[in-house]
Structure 1
Amino acid sequence: MATRSYKDAIDCLNTLQSNAATIEASRASGGKLIKVAIPETIEYLGRIGYSVKELNALNVIHVTGTKGKGSTCAFTDSILRHAKPEWKVGLFTSPHLVAVRERIRINGAPLPEEDFARFFFDVWDRLDQNQTRANPSTFIKPMYFKFITLVAYHAFLSLKVDATILEVGIGGEFDCTNIVPAPAVTAIAALGIDHTSVLGKTIPEIAWQKGGIYKEGVPALTVDQPEEGLKVLRERAAEKKASEFIVVPSTPGLSDVKLGLSGQHQYQNANLAVHAAKIFLHKKAGIEPEAGLSEIYVKALQKARWPGRCQMVTDPRHPSTTWFLDDAALRPIEGPSWPTRILIFNCTSGRSGRSFLETMLDQAASQLFLLKSKDMQEELFDHVIFCTNVTYADGGFKGDLTTHAIAESDLAELKTQNELASAWRSLATEFPENCVHVLPSIEHAVATVRQLESDGAVDVLVAGSLHLVGGTIEVADLAGVAL
């Protein structure tokens, strides 16, 4: 049989995506489907030839949280690679920006296409060859995220990594990453109301979910949390019989380090990573933890990268255009002239998008007032673009960015994008109507930016969806500077 390619793997993987109807059915179940995720994942793992005990060999640092878990993983990964350069360090995160293989990294680099394809089809074929299931109604193959998690376990075990940083997908207690019996360290980044809030969850309920990653005999770390969340996490640590519960204290000297990830909030994530790494390196490498930061830690924090998040890049083909990716802050207006400023925005729901836009405008207005900038709320942008996450103008997706989660009728009618535009008009009542653009694809949005570049310098903020950010990197040809 001919060798199966990376593209073949992505095509197969995309058949495992949940469609809009499946997602709605899961929500309607009240969480019942989520609660079978752990036993199902364990069964799938067994069907590809592994026991859960074998996952302990991965030497896992398990990280969850509402905000900052990905950044915490990136900092932790950088610290381990700098402290133990001879090690092979695995990193599993989600979602990806441009290529699925970004989710599974070895020593900071995404798996090469040929390696990803090889491990992918190992798992694919083993599930086909061993179809014995405890429940015959269970799918022969798991859905998208769970399948990639299995590929990550198989890749890391096959490559014999020395350490693994494992980021939770959603929640914690019932997430399919939560089957490792004895991770070395567990850590929880900031709690808050995120996309799970559509299910009406409160901070204590979210804390209960996140605290599900704590394990018996394993240090349970967290950043400082809202009081009601911290109480639940402390109770969960006791319930799970964690070896210790630590609200990580500040690290001397950390505030003086220029972090590789932008944003003041990253210091909290870096601090959590420092404490998790120190405990891990003490347990697994016998390195006594220092009170402050060694030169190795400082360099690691400076060199940490997490593409597409709070990132500012200059367009390689249009040097007068600057892209601000995810929630990176635009530069304040200074001097008699300034760039044309454009917002490209999308999210999964126009209704939740209104809240996001309102918060963004309110926070921008307060910051601009403090900076005594000429900007005011309705002058923050010259143009706003609401587009879908569809990659190309012909209606097609880049293979790695394909999604079936949005109803085709919603895409055809641009339902969410029109809801967002309506919300914008109600929030910024004086904003010029002809400067609000509702577009069917990311390629249309980038083309609009290119047209506006003829007027001079341009600053573009891309926010609301990492799939949108990844698609923009692809279409605007920013991979060389952003990834």
Structure 2
Amino acid sequence: MLTTNTYETAVELLNQTQSNASILQAVRASGGKLNERSMPEMREYMARLGYSMADLDELNVIHVAGTKGKGSTSAFCESILRRCHVVSSGSDGGQTTTRPLKTGLYTSPHILQVRERIRLDGQPLSKAKFTKYFYELWNRFDETQDQVSEGTTSKPPYFRFLTALAFHVFKKEGVDVAIMEVGMGGAYDATNVIRKPIVCAISSLGLDHTAILGKTLPEIAWHKAGIMKAGIPCFTSPQKEDAFKVIEEQALELKASELSISLPSVVEGITLGLAGSHQKLNASLAVSACTTWIHTMQAKKLYTFDSSCIPLLASDDSKQQQQELLPQPFIDGLASTTWIGRAQEYHAAQYPNVTWFLDGAHTPESILVCTEWFEGAVKKYVDHTRTTLIFNCNSTHGRDGPELLKPIAELHLQHNNLFSRVIFTPNDPYRPNTRTLADYTNNMVDADKLLTAQYALQAAWKEFMDTAGSEAVTETFVVSSIEEAVELAAVGGSEEEKTPVLVTGSLYLVGGVLTNLGAECI
């Protein structure tokens, strides 16, 4: 019986709202038809909380969709705007004061704790505030059950609940800007209840969630482009031709005021806080979104910005160098951006003999980017004989585990059998029947106690090696938990001759490894 209002009990109650695997399968089987009810239902949930669409308009939203890089783009946006200051004059012409913008950031999934999904001024929502605001929503939904429409659940499902919670937190905390990352797709995503964002952004597109969004890039592009709104500008990273054509068509149909491509050259020569050459795409998209956001706020006379924060608006034929266009807060924000679990190099005190390379890549395109990053990062290690891979990929949402594993196998072969050990694990953080974490409960994936998926990945790796004619012996292991994978990967090496370990294929896997390494929620 849950009677105490603690963070832990709040997360346990939240987990009760997760759609189980059978419900998700019904959505997939419907060809997305069940998703068409999502916007009316989300508006109803917000109304039951006492919020109108006009209330959400006041959050001054930057709305970010995409397949690859939408989280990084959102993080860049938040880091930039947190360093921008607004100016206000005292009453009766008194002394002028400045203050930094108060930012709200909503992203998914979480890596360590669910409260990471909602950030204020760059920091995860505290356990105390998460608990307070969670129970305000939970109790309000209980009190308004007489307002539930037929076919709508009395409490919103997991992601919609968290989205409603983010809106509630941002309203109560009085943020100046809310950066909202789409969870899945765009058109039917819970975040798309936003009626009037200030600016929209679409990061690089690729194949993911194909069971729900469609099996082709144009189908997926239609969903992502669904965040565009009448009279609102939208920026996109460079896209493949067939995807961009759909985005253009949607921009016309939805009456977006502008559709522009953000080019990576805009941040050339500028230091980025996130590793990997691909981050230039995400950083330039963030620069475009933040530039438009600031100029729109200024034009609407909602804020007066310190002159040091206002970027110039370059004309299309401008040849000016970016250093002349970007104000210092933008440059500082880009350099200071951090994003846990993405192209991250990590050192843990309990394993001084290991360097952990973590990247939550889970699409064919992002795996290629991950291998490129790891290939460059691991060059500084003279001895690669103990390099280890920890891998998992859930087959949910149409993901193909062996297909994601293939680029890593190719990297392995290109570098004369780079990995001496390959470990396949489910996303369970701890050994079976030992301990659990409410933050890691996932009812949206069928439990696989026989480790069928992991043995299939092991077989796929062997097939890749056999097909390539590789005679080198690489040990492969299937373990039942991330805890066991970490312990196995940490065998060998020394403080002077560290073992490089690549962890990839799933953000949940990356989170589980960091949890076992004692990482803090930051």
Q: TM-score, normalised by structure 1?
A: 0.92
CA distance in 2, matches of 1:336, 1:392: 33
Query: Counterpart in 1 of 2:374?
Result: 329
CA distance in 1, matches of 2:381, 2:455: 35
Amino acid at match of 1:64: A
Matches within 5 A, 1:1-16: 4-16=5-17
Query: Counterpart in 1 of 2:423?
Result: 385
CA distance in 2, matches of 1:260, 1:364: 28
Query: Counterpart in 2 of 1:372?
Result: none
Query: Counterpart in 1 of 2:221?
Result: 207
Amino acid at match of 1:208: W
Matches within 5 A, 1:262-341: 262-284=275-297, 285=303, 288-290=310-312, 291=314, 292-326=325-359, 327=370, 328-330=373-375, 331-333=377-379, 337-338=383-384, 340-341=386-387
Query: Counterpart in 2 of 1:23?
Result: 24
Secondary structure of the equivalent of 2:224?
Answer: helix
User: CA 1:251 to 1:338, structure 2 compared with 1: closer, same or farther past 3 Å?
Assistant: closer
**Residue identity (%):** 41
User: CA 1:332 to 1:160, structure 2 compared with 1: closer, same or farther past 3 Å?
Assistant: closer
The alignment status of 1:441 with 2:484, answered yes or no, reads no
CA distance in 1, matches of 2:423, 2:279: 28
User: CA 1:250 to 1:286, structure 2 compared with 1: closer, same or farther past 3 Å?
Assistant: farther
Q: Is the 8 A contact 2:235 2:261 kept in 1?
A: yes
Amino acid at match of 2:20: N
Amino acid at match of 1:385: I
Q: Is the 8 A contact 2:262 2:281 kept in 1?
A: no
CA distance in 2, matches of 1:24, 1:296: 46
CA distance in 1, matches of 2:513, 2:429: 8
Q: Is the 8 A contact 2:272 2:336 kept in 1?
A: yes
* Cα displacement (A) at 1:334: 6.4
The alignment status of 1:217 with 2:262, answered yes or no, reads no
The alignment status of 1:473 with 2:514, answered yes or no, reads yes
CA distance in 1, matches of 2:39, 2:72: 25
Matches within 5 A, 1:386-465: 386-395=424-433, 396-408=435-447, 411-429=448-466, 430=470, 435-453=475-493, 457-465=498-506
CA deviation vs aligned residue, 1:147-167 (integer Å, no higher than 9, x gap): 111111111011111101000
* Cα displacement (A) at 1:406: 2.6
Gaps of 5+ in 1: 369-374
Amino acid at match of 1:270: A
CA distance in 1, matches of 2:55, 2:254: 21
Gaps of 5+ in 2: 86-98, 298-302, 315-324, 360-369
CA distance in 2, matches of 1:412, 1:197: 24
CA distance in 1, matches of 2:380, 2:506: 29
* Cα displacement (A) at 1:3: 5.5
* Cα displacement (A) at 1:230: 1.1
Q: Is the 8 A contact 1:279 1:289 kept in 2?
A: no
Query: Counterpart in 2 of 1:130?
Result: 144
**Over aligned residue pairs, what C-alpha RMSD do you find?**
2.2
User: CA 1:62 to 1:99, structure 2 compared with 1: closer, same or farther past 3 Å?
Assistant: same
CA distance in 2, matches of 1:278, 1:299: 15
Q: Is the 8 A contact 2:133 2:169 kept in 1?
A: yes
Instruction: Select the residue among 334, 346, 357 that pairs with 2:405.
Output: 357
Amino acid at match of 2:180: L
Aligned residues: 468
Q: Is the 8 A contact 2:64 2:203 kept in 1?
A: yes
Query: Counterpart in 2 of 1:371?
Result: none
CA distance in 2, matches of 1:336, 1:301: 31
The alignment status of 1:345 with 2:391, answered yes or no, reads yes
Matches within 5 A, 1:114-153: 114-133=128-147, 135-153=149-167
Amino acid at match of 2:233: P
Q: Is the 8 A contact 1:185 1:279 kept in 2?
A: yes
Q: Is the 8 A contact 2:311 2:326 kept in 1?
A: no
Amino acid at match of 2:201: A
Secondary structure of the equivalent of 1:343?
Answer: strand
User: CA 1:345 to 1:454, structure 2 compared with 1: closer, same or farther past 3 Å?
Assistant: same
Matches within 5 A, 1:94-133: 94-133=108-147
Q: Is the 8 A contact 1:316 1:478 kept in 2?
A: no
* Cα displacement (A) at 1:250: 4.6
Q: TM-score, normalised by structure 2?
A: 0.85
* Cα displacement (A) at 1:333: 4.8
CA deviation vs aligned residue, 1:157-184 (integer Å, no higher than 9, x gap): 1111110100000000000100111100
* Cα displacement (A) at 1:478: 3.2
* Cα displacement (A) at 1:338: 3.5
Secondary structure of the equivalent of 1:132?
Answer: helix
Q: Is the 8 A contact 2:137 2:165 kept in 1?
A: yes
Amino acid at match of 2:107: T
Amino acid at match of 2:400: S
Secondary structure of the equivalent of 2:192?
Answer: coil
CA deviation vs aligned residue, 1:328-380 (integer Å, no higher than 9, x gap): 51434568633611111111129711101112333565xx5xxxxxx23xx12
* Cα displacement (A) at 1:135: 3.1
Q: Is the 8 A contact 1:66 1:193 kept in 2?
A: yes
Amino acid at match of 1:329: F
